[in-house]
Structure 1
Amino acid sequence: MSTAAREPAGMAVDEGIRHLLLLMPRVVGRAKKMRVPEELQSFSLAPRHLSLLANLVFEGPMTVNDLAARLEVAPTTVSLMVGDLSRQGVLERRSDEVDRRRTIVGIAAAHEKSVNAWLGSSARAWRKVLAPLTPEQRRLFVDTFRAYEDQLAAED
C-alpha cells in the first residue's frame, strides 16, 4: 500500500496556508485586470459601486432595501450610491408595477451590455466552481471566505 493511500484526504493547516498565500495574490491580480469598459471609465466607479452593479447583474433589478440587504449596508447608503449612479446614467429607477410606492433599481439599458460583459464573468466563474459542490460544502466555503475577510478587517 502506498504512503499516499494512508494519508488523510484533507490538507494540513500550514499546507493550506501555503497554497492560499500563492493563490490569493493571483485572484486579486486577475480581479484588478478586469478593465472597466471604456464607456464606463468616466463614471469614477469605486469598489462599492462594483458590488452594487455585480448584484444587479446577477439578480436583476431590485429595490433599494433588497440591494442593501445583499450588500450588508444601510438602505441610506445604497440610496446615495443609486442616486449618484442614476444621475450619471448608469442606473435607472422605475416604479414597481405591483406596488407603486416601491422603486425598482436596474442597470440602464444603454450600459447593460457592457456592465454584463464586464462583471458577468465573475458570476459565471463562481457558478462553475460552486455548482459541483454539495450545499454543505458551498456553505463551508462561503463561511470560511467570510471569516477570512472578517479576520483581515479585525487586524486593520
Structure 2
Amino acid sequence: MQRLNYIKASPRPFEHLSTLSRYFHDCGFPGGLLELVWLRASQLNGCAYCTDMHVADALKLGEAPRRLHLIAAWREANLYSPAERAALAWTEAVTNVQDGHVPDHVFEGLKPHFDERQIADLTYAIATINAWNRLAVAFRVPLPDTPAGVR
C-alpha cells in the first residue's frame, strides 16, 4: 500500500523533476538509449513502478523486447552498441555509489562515444531516474494493473 501521495503532498518539486525528465527526451540522445539507461537504473534500485514504465516506453519507441529482457546481463549479451555499453556501465557506476567513488576507467569509456555536454546530460539523466526511483520505493508507489508507459 502506498505510504504517501508525494505528488499531492508537494507538487512543486514533482513539477520540476518532471520538467527535467522531459528535457532528456529532447536533448539528442540516440534512439532508445535514455530508456535503456533509465530501465537499468530502475532495476538496480529495485523500483518495480519505474522498471515497468521504462519497459513500456522503450517498446513504444520500437526497442526490441529481447534487448529489454537482457539488459541486466548487458555485459554478456552482444546486443548493445559500444556507446550503449559505455552508457550502461556509467549508469551502474553512478547509481551504485555506496563505495564512495565512480571509477575513472568507466568515465574514460564514455569519451569515445559522447561529448562533454552529452556526458553531463547522461549523468543528470541518471541522477534524475535515481531520484524518481527513490521516491517510488520510499513511498511504495504501487505497480499499476497495466504498464504505466506514460511520460
Give the TM-score of the pair, scaled to structure 1: 0.38
Task: Point out which structure has higher relative CO (alpha carbons under 8 A, 6+ apart).
Answer: 2
More strand by share: 1
> TM-score under structure 2 normalisation?
0.39
Instruction: Pick the structure with more helix per residue.
Output: 1
When Rg is computed on C-alpha atoms for both structures, the one with the higher figure is 1
